[in-house]
Homo-oligomer: A and B are copies of this chain.
């Protein structure tokens, strides 16, 4: 078993505690708040400290990183050569390189990125400000951005604005003051102000998942029209003929676009396929109930045989309400959602959905950022539209034969 020793081999508090026959917490108190410890115990602890030669100073070394000057001294070269060994090793004689690397290893040298960025005038980190890490889509975006950044030998730093505009601004400023190479923003609402905030400094910026229609910066978007189209088309392909679009009727861009896609699929299908649009007055976990009442109130021949919900959360809610009313899914009514939201994965009937490909979105954002950095003054903002994909599960297609 490894024992808990300081790097110089001095005993740790764990060993003191063991030797004194008390808990580590008691040792801590004995050192910091001796009045909280009974005199007898205090004596035992001090005896153990004495015996083991324990010293707090050795136990927790002061924070100190060796600098390039020290590396240079140990290696017997100049600071410039250490820098070259780090950044342009091909320009350094192999023997020298070896000496420098040995010194780096020996001292445990970790370059100071702040000094590096200051002197070199560039940073290799990208900042990602995300509206809600509780939503799977944004975790996927972060994952994809991370992957693409790593492939380009850049680091990704994430920040969660948690649906708060003030935090979002603070995080944009944070990355600006860190002089990151660029910022990816997945905003809560119209990011106009945020964009200005970043761009007035000329910092490259990519906005993800929000189309402000202005093209002030590069953008990565979901083709939401296609989300709706894929969903409705799937139901039609399964032979369903009376579709219902289940959504809150609001003006949010993604909602409108998905609805348009559903309508197009129904239109393309021609006669024989109908569409009814049902308002849930909300997209929360319980908003399925209301819609299901509406569905059941319809005369049998007009009752839909397929429900497409605007989100997975809503879709799950609808499935539950249907089952609660004694209907079976998908036999009586097929149901699906949109988003591929992990919070909807636990349902009684696995929900068919349209997946948004967050990882691809995150990766595309980092690629756009890299392009903007490379192209410099010649850069022209682009928009990338990531295509969603259908994910068929039981709520539409039924249980696969085993």
**A interface residue numbers (CB < 8 A to B):** 2, 4, 7, 12-14, 24-25, 27-28, 31-32, 56-57, 60-65, 108, 110-118, 123, 125, 133-134, 136, 139, 142-143, 146, 150, 155-160, 162, 167, 170-171, 173-174, 176-179, 192, 196, 199-204, 214-216, 285, 312-313, 316, 319-320, 323, 342-348, 351, 375-383
Return chain B residues, CB-CB under 8 Å to A313: 346
Q: What 11 new A-B contacts, CB under 8 Å, besides A25-B383, A150-B170?
A: A28-B382, A56-B380, A60-B202, A63-B203, A108-B201, A110-B173, A110-B201, A125-B174, A146-B162, A313-B346, A344-B346
Minimum-distance CB pairs A-B, first 7:
A63-B202, A348-B348, A28-B380, A114-B114, A113-B177, A316-B346, A4-B214
The contact sample of 28 A-B pairs, CB cut-off 8 A, is A27-B380, A60-B377, A62-B377, A64-B202, A65-B176, A65-B179, A108-B201, A110-B173, A110-B177, A112-B179, A113-B179, A114-B123, A114-B179, A115-B118, A133-B133, A133-B142, A134-B139, A143-B160, A143-B162, A155-B170, A157-B158, A157-B159, A158-B158, A285-B345, A343-B345, A346-B346, A346-B347, A346-B351
Q: How far is the CB of A273 from the nearest CB of chain B, in Å?
A: 29
| Bound form: Cα–Cα A85–B146 in Å | 38
Interfacial chain B residues near A158, Cβ < 8 Å: 157-160
B residues in contact with A351, CB < 8 Å: 346
Q: Which residue of B lies closest to A345 (CB)?
A: B343
Min C-beta distance of A168 to chain B, whole Å: 12
**Contacts of A159 on B, CB cut-off 8 Å?**
155-158
Cβ–Cβ contact A12 & B216, under 8 A: yes
Report the bound CA distance from A256 to B185 in whole Å. 42
**Contact in complex: A31, B380 (CB < 8 Å):** yes
User: Complex: how many Å from CA A252 to CA B99?
Assistant: 44
Is A65 touching B201 in the complex (CB atoms < 8 A)? Answer: yes
Contact B64 A201 (CB under 8 A): yes
A12 and B201 within 8 A (CB) = no
Q: Kindly provide the distance from the CB of A357 to the nearest chain B CB, expressed in whole angstroms.
A: 16
